[in-house]
Amino acid sequence: MNDQPDNLIYIRKKNGSSFYAWMKPYNQTLLGNYDDYIVKFHSALKDLHLTNNIHAEYQLGAMRLGDIMFDRFSVKINSPVVNDKPIQQTYFLALVNGIEFVMTITLTEEAEEETLLNII
* Structural domain span for residue 81: 6-111
Which of 43, 47, 49, 73 shows the shortest CA–CA distance to 59? Answer: 73
Structurally, the chain folds into a number of domains equal to 1
Instruction: Provide, for the chain, the percentages of residues in helix, strand and coil under a 3-state DSSP scheme, each rounded to the nearest 5.
Output: 25, 50, 25
Q: Which residues are 102's β-sheet partners?
A: 22, 93
**Integer Cα distance of 2 and 104 in angstroms:** 21
CB 21 within 8 A of CB 105: no
Is 117 within the bounds of a domain? no
Task: Tell me the pTM.
Answer: 0.85
CATH number of the domain encompassing residue 42: 3.40.1000.10
94 has a pLDDT exceeding 80 = yes
28 has a pLDDT exceeding 80 = yes
Task: Enumerate residues 6+ apart whose C-beta is below 8 A from 42.
Answer: 58, 60, 73
| Residue 47: per-residue pLDDT | 95
